[in-house]
Structures are given as C-alpha cells and as structure tokens.
C-alpha cells in the first residue's frame, strides 16, 4: 500500500457556480487550493485530477429521469424543471451544470477507489461533500451527491462496512436517504438542531429502516453550541459507534459552516475545534478502518476567513503533516485574497482558541444541560439498536 495521500483537484471544479450573490461562491475552492500550495502542503501528497463520473456511476445513487433533467437544465438553464429541485433559488440552473457536478462526483468516487485499492492511504476531495442531493432531486446547493456515490462505489467494489461521519452544520440527509435500509453503511451526522436549521431533518429518532434499522445515527445540537460542547458531543457518540461497527473504510464530511462566522447557521465553533475533530477522524480511521480514510469538504460560506484555513488543515492532516495552529499565513496568499475579493485575509491558521478543552462524556453528564440532553437523546435512540448501552 502506498502511504502517500491523494488530493483530488481539477481547476474545472471551480465552474460549480450558481451565480453572483449565491452563498456557494467557488472562490472558496480557489483560495483553499492556493493556501494548500502557499503552505507547501501539496508537496506532501499526490495531486490527482480524476475523470467525471459517468452515467452508470451516477445511477448508483441517482434516478435516470433526474440525471436527464440535470443534463437538460445544463444545456438550457432557462428550461430547468423545478420539480427536480433545479432552477430554484437554492439550486439555480447554469450552463455546464451536469458536467461540473459529474466532475466533482468523479473526484470523490476516484478517491474512494484509490483508498480501497491501496493506491493511497488517505484521499481528500474538499470540493465534494455535497450531501443534500437526493436520488431524484437537487437540494441545498447540491446537484449530485458525491459522498453517497463514493460510498455506493465502495459497496460495488465489495466493501462490506462503510462508516460515514458528517460534521457539517446541516444534517447529511441525502447520504442518510441513500442508505436508509442498508446495514452495510453506518451514517452518523452531527449537526445543528432541525428546529433551527435546514433541512429540518436529522432528529435522534431517525435511525434507519428494515435491515438498516440502527444504521443511521443523528446528533442534533442546540443553536449556539461552541467548541467545548461540539467536541464533547462528537466524542460522546462517534468513537463508540465506530468501535462497534469496525468499518473497512471511513468517509467523513467536513463542512466548515459550524464556524461562528458562518452566515447561514447558528453554531459557534472555531477553526481550532474543527481541526480537533479533523484530527479525531484521522485517528479513528487508523484505529478502526486500517487507516482507510476518504475526507470530503461540504458547506462553508465564510469563504475567505474560514473555509480555506479549515480545509487546508484537513488536507495537511491527511498528508501526515498537520499545520500548527500558530502558523503565519504567507503574505502572497493574503495579497491574492485581497485581489480576488477585496477582503482582508486572516493572518494565522488559528482563531486563537487553541488548545481546545472539553469534558469527556465518560466523566458523567448533566441531565439539565441542553447539550447533554441532545447527546442522551441520540444515545437512547440509536445505541440500543446496535446492542450498545445508552
């Protein structure tokens, strides 16, 4: 097995552009890739541009009629069929939409293939993590669900157990839906409570169905949850489930929109806590999945101050060369930011919240604490279905 990590990148992914004023600004992808280069992180891994996902791959998750609807909207955006979630305010149609969405999906699928086949130990596609797309519709800025497609491809290759851990501020509803009845895929989503955030799903009681009962786990957190609570909640649920499930591959989604500066959500997590959870996912992959780790991006709409730094940390961790939080950001990158956005760039790779301290769940819980109530609700709903004590 190659110990070298892969970074999936093709400049053409920046064509995933819903237009001026849309929160999903592709400048976040450009700036992330340039920060990875400015800090020399890309010298520690292999950069790979994979082919777009073909129709047969897209059909692993998406319906034929939906793929055809995306192609039609891609060729003539004005004719987009809103019954498929296309041409809406969240998912405006644009020329070339099918091609670039398939390209992003292709990067995640190729990342999964490389990791499973031993061509890379870890692979990162920060342009992916488009976890809201459903089998038959676009949703929440997501056209094709690259995360679900990567997992479906792993199953096609014969993998028997895949764990998907989603720490985006929004519920990973599309991935959960794709594997709702499949016991081979354990989906765990840690997100802001559906009472206060799109897509209004991801309640603790959503645990899968049929043979997949107990294979979906949802941990909704109160709005305003900060570093200590967020990291505590993650560690109160995720490691124990992975220890029980023993995945052969870990796929994780690292939306940066849990951050306190994100304009679309209401958690209060710092870059430093995001880095703690990225490190934890890396460690869990080694502890329970023989190191096989596919890491994806996701949401994140503070496109200058947060997303590039968060995902550069992710890439560096996957490369085996974590960037120290106190690292000074190169002036050349900061000038690039100003030239592209007329915004002042951050100066260091930290929010100044390092080190992050949190109280382990094993030390006891407070039944009157809202965060602990959320963790308890999740453990009580999901854990007994897996034969674990709540």
The edge-to-edge listing of strands for the beta sheet with 45-48 is 45-48, 5-8, 122-125, 293-296, 249-253, 162-166, 185-192, 216-221
Q: What is the pLDDT of residues 131-158, one digit of tens each?
A: 999 999 999 999 999 999 999 999 999 9
Please state the rounded mean pLDDT for residues 326-351. 97
pTM exceeds 0.95 for this model: yes
> What confidence tier does 3 reach under pLDDT thresholds 50, 70, 90?
low
Q: 254 an active-site residue?
A: no
Q: What is the pLDDT of residues 197-239, one digit of tens each?
A: 999 999 999 999 999 999 999 999 999 999 999 999 999 999 9
Name the residue with tokens 């497609």. 149
**Degrees to nearest 5, angle at CA 7 with 185 and 295:** 25
Q: Which phi and psi angles does 104 have, rounded to 5°?
A: -60, -45
Q: Among 98, 122, 131, 132, which one carries the catalytic annotation?
A: 132
Task: Please tell me what DSSP assigns to residue 43.
Answer: G
Indicate if the pLDDT at residue 263 is higher than 70: yes
Which pLDDT value is given to residue 1? 39
State the Rg of the chain over Cα: 19
Q: What is the pLDDT of residues 379-388, one digit of tens each?
A: 999 999 999 9
Which pLDDT value is given to residue 4? 86
CB 293 within 8 A of CB 318: yes
Q: What is the pLDDT of residues 61-119, one digit of tens each?
A: 999 999 999 999 999 999 999 999 999 999 999 999 999 999 999 999 999 999 999 99
């Amino acid at each position: 097995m190659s110990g070298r990590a892969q970074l999936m990148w093709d400049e053409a992914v920046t064509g995933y552009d819903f237009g001026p004023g849309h929160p999903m600004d592709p400048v976040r992808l450009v700036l992330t890739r340039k920060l990875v280069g400015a800090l020399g992180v890309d010298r520690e891994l292999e950069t790979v541009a994979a082919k777009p996902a073909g129709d047969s791959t897209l059909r692993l998750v998406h319906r034929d009629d939906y793929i055809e609807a995306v192609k039609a909207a891609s060729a003539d955006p004005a004719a987009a069929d809103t019954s498929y979630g296309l041409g809406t305010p969240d998912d405006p149609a644009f020329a070339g939409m099918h091609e670039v969405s398939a390209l992003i999906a292709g990067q995640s699928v190729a990342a999964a293939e490389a990791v499973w086949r031993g061509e890379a130990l870890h692979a990162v596609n920060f342009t992916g993590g488009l976890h809201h797309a459903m089998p038959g519709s676009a949703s929440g800025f997501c056209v094709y669900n690259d995360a679900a497609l990567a997992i479906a491809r792993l199953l096609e290759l014969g993998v028997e157990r895949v764990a998907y851990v989603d720490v985006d501020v929004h519920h990973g509803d599309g991935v959960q839906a794709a594997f709702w009845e499949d016991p081979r895929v354990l989906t765990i989503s840690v997100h802001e409570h559906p009472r206060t955030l799109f897509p209004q799903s991801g309640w603790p009681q959503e645990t899968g169905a049929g043979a997949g009962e107990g294979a979906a786990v949802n941990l909704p957190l109160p709005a305003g949850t900060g570093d200590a609570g967020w990291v505590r909640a993650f560690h109160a649920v995720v490691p124990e489930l992975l220890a029980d499930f023993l995945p052969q591959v870990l796929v994780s989604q690292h939306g940066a929109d849990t951050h306190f500066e994100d304009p679309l959500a209401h958690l209060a997590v710092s870059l430093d806590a995001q880095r703690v959870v990225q490190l934890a996912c890396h460690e869990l992959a080694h502890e329970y999945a023989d190191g096989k780790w596919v890491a994806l991006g996701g949401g994140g709409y503070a496109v200058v101050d947060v997303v590039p730094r968060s995902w550069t940390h992710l890439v560096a961790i996957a490369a085996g060369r974590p960037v120290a939080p106190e690292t000074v950001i190169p002036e050349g990158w900061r000038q690039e930011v100003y030239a592209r956005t007329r915004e002042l760039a951050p100066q260091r790779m930290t929010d100044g919240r390092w080190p992050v301290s949190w109280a382990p769940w094993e030390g006891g819980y407070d039944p009157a604490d809202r965060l602990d109530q959320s963790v308890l609700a999740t453990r009580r709903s999901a854990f007994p279905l897996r034969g674990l004590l709540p």
